[in-house]
Structure 1
Amino acid sequence: MSPESLLLFVLAAVAVIVFARWLASRTGLPSAALLTLIGILYALLPGPNITLDPHIVLTIVLPPLLYSAALDSSLLAIRRNLRIVVSLSVVLVLVTAVAIGLGFHLFVAGATLAAGVAVGAAVAPPDPVAALAVGRRVNLPPKLVTIIQGEGLLNDATALTILSVAVTAAVSGTFSFPAAAAQFVLAAAGGIVVGAAVAWGVRLARPLTRDPLLSNAISLATPFVAFLLGEELHVSGVLAVVVAGLIVGHHTPRLASGASRLQTSAVWRLVDFLLEGFVFLLIGQQLPQVVKGLRQYDTATIVIAVAVSVGVVLLLRPLWLVLNQLLPRWMHTRLGGASEYEDDTPGSARRAASEARNARRLTGREVVALSWSGTRGVITLAAIFTLPLVTDSGAPFPDRDLLLFCAFVVVLVTLVGQGLTFAPLVRALGLRADEADQVRVRNEARSASVEAALARLAEVAAEEPEHADAVESMRAQLNGRLARYRGRLDLLQAAELPGVPVSPQYEAALRIRRAAIDAQREELLRWRDAGQLPDEGLRVLERELDLEELRLPTRTP
């Protein structure tokens, strides 16, 4: 493909991604499923196509996607739900791989256990992108979002390690369980250490992160540094990326300036949008290559292999979640990470109640929702495409083409089937976050931050009496904000109906502030067009108005 053709192909792909995002916003359908279907339709048409290169995906695409997801995750929330997150991301992945391996060995003619475990490891890790996009749109409860997010962050490392062990066994014809277990533990522990070391290095670069451009450069480079360092040391580079992202994301409020955080967040949103779009288009385009190698298998073998793969993936997850909830109650509290509040600070009783909800068992409706959130994605295809063509003896890798097809079908069934039906299922189950509680938390935090600022102003007034006028002006502004926040809390407290009560005065104030900002922009443009204001000055003043508008909530907070 010539450079011009490649450029046209990329531009066409961007146009399709933008269209799919627009269509998803209008219809409520997940863009991941739409892009996958569009990719399949394109693959059936004559013309150039892109074949998935697993090494490019695992080295260039996966690290930034995982790192961005880790930055947006909550280290504390994952720790509170660590038992179930580890259960799903480590134990369930292992059980799924072994179950599919045994199914292939017992029911698929000529299939080996190692080859079955290889495809099982590839299809075991869910890709939470589609499920989380839908879950946030339908306001899924934070506990379920945390579980899906935490599972998606950690399961790739487990799956890729199991796949490596299975491929070694299939290629060499030998397998040692103690050696495999030691390899898994070493890879995981080493990945955690490398990730923590990279995060520590980012923290040392704190003086540079005050500059937004330098902060962006460091942030974009961090996942690749963590991944390559992990792979160079023969430990889990994927886990290193996740650990680095979780730690850096947890400490970013202290490490970076406000301007750096705003710009870095915007850059990562764009990276996610484009990479995820290309990834789901790429999934659909693999159909011709996957189907091409099936001519050597009879229909019965293909049907049985697909049934084993899809059946284990769809049935084992809900069964595992149900068994998980049958554990003794003390394991749901102590290992769940609930913390106790013995202080008298405002909201401490509510926070304690929230912690208790996090530590409790999942309800039946939550189990159903989590069971249907296990969509598979590009990691599954990238992993299965890494299978070698031949073994050490020079023979073809056992049933490679059949394994590719099984993995592709699992991705289609979960990504399209579950992806398209997840939102209706969540709505039918009536699972929604307690929006009023979330609003209450934010306004309590706002009030506390303003009270801290007022206390600091009192110290400044005592230290710098010559600046009393400036202190009083700022105190008046802060007291006004505090009065608004407390008024919202009183409104929430007095509300009798579920949901967030709407304050007509507050909504009117937001409309008036937006109208004033629009009028200021129009006047600045008139000045620029009349030659009274240089474009450089316009951009400076527009940025001030943009930041002011950015602070306005898009909904009642």
Structure 2
Amino acid sequence: MESIVDVVALVAISVLGAALARRLGFVAPLVVLVAGLGLSFVPGMPEAHLDPDLVLIGILPPLLYTAALETSVPAFRRALRPILLLAVGLVLFTAFAVGIVLHVLLPQFPFAACVALGAIIAPPDAVSATAIAKRIGLPRRVVTILEGESLLNDASALVLVRVATAALAGASVGFWPIAGQVVLKAGGGIVLGLAAAWIAAKLHRKIEDSLLDDAVSLLTPFVVVIVAEELKTSSVVAVVIAGLYLGHRMPYLLSPTSRLQMEAVWRMITFLLEGIVFLLVGLQLRTVGSDIETSVGTTVGVTVAVIGTLLVTRFVWLYPATYLPRLLPRIRGREERPPITVPTVIGWAGMRGVVTLAAAQTLPKPNPDPKNFVPDYPINLFVFIAFAVIVVTLLLQGTTLSWLAVRLGVRQDNTTADALAEAGVQHQASRAALEALEANADGAPTSVVDRLRALVESRSNNAWERLGSQQQETPSAAYGRLRREMIGAERRVFKIARNEGRIPEEVLTRAQRDLDLEESLLQRSDE
């Protein structure tokens, strides 16, 4: 019973934190994190213990999966080169840079342990990066690069962690074994992800019940992770590949009802998991800080040095990685040269999250037993450093990223260009719809045909109206405002009739569903 109460309390606190953040205009994950930090010092508050398996198998897969579902595959493919430079190259560069700094400051401890911590804190978090980048309104390509980096960098980081911990235990590790392991795990993850996506797509095509579609979608990331762990391949890559494939094919696999319902289900799950994740990170402060054995001076000095190394190495890598490849004619002709402000904003968007803390807690504990020997190193200090990196990057970079983007002029893409493109495509779609109407209108009442023709014309006009933003209220906006008032009046009449016993509950439910669907469409058109 206590565990159920704890879960309910976590959900309630994270929901209240998100509500407060929206009211104050802040980013919800940051408010929830601060709430967790404060609650960790409340007398009587039970200590929070973050189970790494819960994070890596229970929380991370659905968050990665839903982020991949929403990622544009064409945009991801166009940005694949910078994504891989960040997700693989920057992770390796950061891990060894941190490892060298740590080993210089703590030369008595093994270099492999220092590199392992570097790999753990190298990758920005999928949850924090996408949540904050989308919230503050960065250019679409920047968001795609940050999303792609955060989706793939955990795979390269976790492989490097395993290699470093193996070296820590005395296993001989060379370049080619490492490269072979990376290729094997990543390749296995790609194959498994595609196979799982193909099976899930087959199931979605055959399913006609929206609830079953939701169930299959919810099970997919967990099944993929469990199978990947059994096959000793990259579960992160497998989940991401499955999500990218299914997200790209979703318009052809699901009915409209299933798509609407599945979107609502995943939005709710993501909202709750994100809140719980950041709350758990904050609640770890007392637990993590109480186990450190090194002196306060050493702890503070090493932590500051590591965080400084993280911030510097990201910029040191980003500027050459952005501009040097464009010296090649093939890349220069395909990609525009971005202003220096763009890599600067990307460099400042390196927030870490709960995966970093969970991975730190999987580090092997020192063990003098010759059969399972692990040399002595300050594991509690390393866990604390990982925790400090999360808190500092989230609170420092997460709260100032929007300000920096505005100051540097890195803003959201031109909405006028988007509206113009939408209007052009909508015009083509309207012509196709009218042609389909004329081809199938034989025998239909004239009033029905006229009504459908007017609906198509109205939809096409609405798209063009978005270009005329100088008007105080466009016809479509007036239509939405008046129709919402009408829907409210209709809804009240049905409720009164139900209360007076003139219609049964089933009639009210059916009418309410139709009115709710129409009103939700009006809200979407306003966004």
> What range describes the TM-score normalised by the shorter chain of this pair?
over 0.9
The counterpart of 2:153, out of the listed 152, 155, 173, is 155
2:352 to 376, 397, 422: 376
The correspondence of residues 465-480 of structure 1 with structure 2, limited to 5 A, is 465-467=442-444, 469=446, 472-473=449-450, 475-480=452-457
Q: What is the 5 A alignment of 1:229-308? A: 229-295=227-293, 297-308=294-305
In the alignment, is residue 545 of structure 1 matched against residue 509 of structure 2?
no
- Tell me how far apart the structure 2 counterparts of residues 270 and 92 of structure 1 sit (CA, whole Å): 33
Amino acid at match of 1:531: G
Q: How does 1:397-476 map to 2 (within 5 A)?
A: 397-430=376-409, 431-461=411-441, 465-467=442-444, 469=446, 472-473=449-450, 475-476=452-453
Which of 365, 368, 390 lines up with 1:389 in the alignment?
365
The answer (yes or no) to whether the contact 2:326–2:332 under 8 Å persists in 1 is: no
Partner of 1:22: 19
Provide the residue aligned with 1:172 in structure 2: 170
User: What is the identity, as a one-letter code, of the residue corresponding to 1:192?
Assistant: I
Q: Give the CA deviation at 1:287.
A: 1.6
Segments of structure 2 that go 5 or more residues without pairing to the other structure are: none
Relative distance call for 1:141 and 1:209 in structure 2 (3 A) is farther
8 A Cα contact 1:93 1:158, kept in partner: yes
Q: Distance in 2 between matches of 1:37 and 1:372?
A: 20
Stretch moving more, 473-482 or 419-428: 473-482
Q: Once the 2 structures are TM-superposed, how far is the Cα of residue 190 of structure 1 from its aligned partner? A: 0.6
Given candidates 4, 8, 29, the residue that maps to 1:7 is 4
CA distance in 1, matches of 2:330, 2:227: 37
The structural deviation recorded for 1:82 is 0.7
Which one is further off, 478-487 or 158-167? Answer: 478-487
- The answer on whether the counterparts of 1:376 and 1:415 sit within 8 Å (CA) in structure 2 is yes
Change in CA separation of 1:506 and 1:136 when aligned onto 2, cut-off 3 Å = same
Counterpart in the other structure of 1:117? 115
* 8 Å Cα contact 2:36/2:280 also seen in 1: yes
Match of 1:342 in 2: none
Cα distance in 2 for partners of 1:100, 1:205 equals: 46
When normalised by structure 2's length, the TM-score is 0.93
Moved more, 66-75 or 284-293: 284-293
Moved more, 219-228 or 126-135: 126-135
CA distance change for structure 1 residues 110 and 438 in 2, over 3 Å: closer, same or farther?
same
Match status 1:484 vs 2:455: no
Q: Which amino acid aligns with 1:29?
A: F
- 2:407 maps to a residue whose letter is A
Using the alignment, how far apart are the partners of 2:356 and 2:322 within structure 1? 27
CA contact (8 A) 1:446 1:485 kept: no
Cα 1:378–1:26, aligned 2, differ >3 Å: closer, same or farther?
A: same
The sequence identity of aligned pairs, in percent, is 38
Alignment of 1:516 onto 2:493: no
Shift of 1:144: 1.0
Q: Kindly indicate whether the alpha-carbon contact (under 8 Å) linking 2:349 and 2:401 is maintained by their aligned counterparts in 1.
A: yes
How far the C-alpha of 1:471 sits from its partner, in A, is: 6.6
Alignment correspondent of 1:350: none
Cα RMSD, aligned residues only: 2.2
What amino acid sits opposite 1:481 in the alignment? S
The number of aligned residues is 522
Matches within 5 A, 1:42-53: 42-45=39-42, 46-53=44-51
- Secondary structure of the structure 2 residue equivalent to 1:466: coil
1:362 maps to which of 333, 338, 349: 338
Change (3 A) 1:250 1:488: same
| Deviates further, 239-248 or 126-135 | 126-135
* Contact 2:103/2:109 (8 A) holds in 1: yes
Residue 487 and residue 306 in structure 1: after superposition, are their counterparts in 2 closer, same or farther (change >3 A)? closer
CA distance in 2, matches of 1:425, 1:14: 32
Shift of 1:474: 5.0
**Residues 115, 399 of structure 1: 8 Å contact kept:** no
**CA 1:326–1:207: 2 relative to 1, 3 Å:** closer
1:33-48 correspondence runs (5 A): 33-45=30-42, 46-48=44-46
Q: 1:38 to 1:196 in 2, by over 3 A?
A: same
Whole-angstrom distance in 2 between the partners of 1:73 and 1:500: 32
- Deviations along 1:486-525, one digit per CA (max 9) or x if unpaired, are 6426xx2xx6xxx776544332221101111111111111
2:60 is matched by which residue type in structure 1?
Answer: L
1:534 is the counterpart of 2:504: yes
State the Cα deviation string for residues 189-216 of structure 1 (Å, max 9, x = none): 1101100000000111133443210000
* Structure-to-structure mapping, 1:76-155, within 5 angstroms: 76-155=74-153
Looking at structure 1, the residues matched to 327 and 165 of structure 2 have their Cα atoms a distance apart, in angstroms, of: 39
1:97/1:119 contact within 8 Å kept = yes
When residues 202 and 331 of structure 1 are mapped into structure 2, their CA distance, relative to the original with a 3 A threshold, is farther
Distance 1:184 1:502 in 2: 57
Write the distance in 2 (CA, Å) between the matches of 1:398 and 1:164: 17
Q: Which runs of 4+ in 1 moved over 6 A?
A: none
Displacement of 1:228 in angstroms is 1.3
Counterparts of 1:501 and 1:293 in 2: how far apart (Å)?
A: 63
Instruction: Tell me the alpha carbon deviations over residues 299-323 of structure 1, each in whole angstroms, 9 at most, x when there is no partner.
Output: 4432342133212211111221111
Contact preservation (8 Å) 2:110, 2:375: no
Q: What SS class does the counterpart of residue 110 from structure 1 fall into?
A: coil
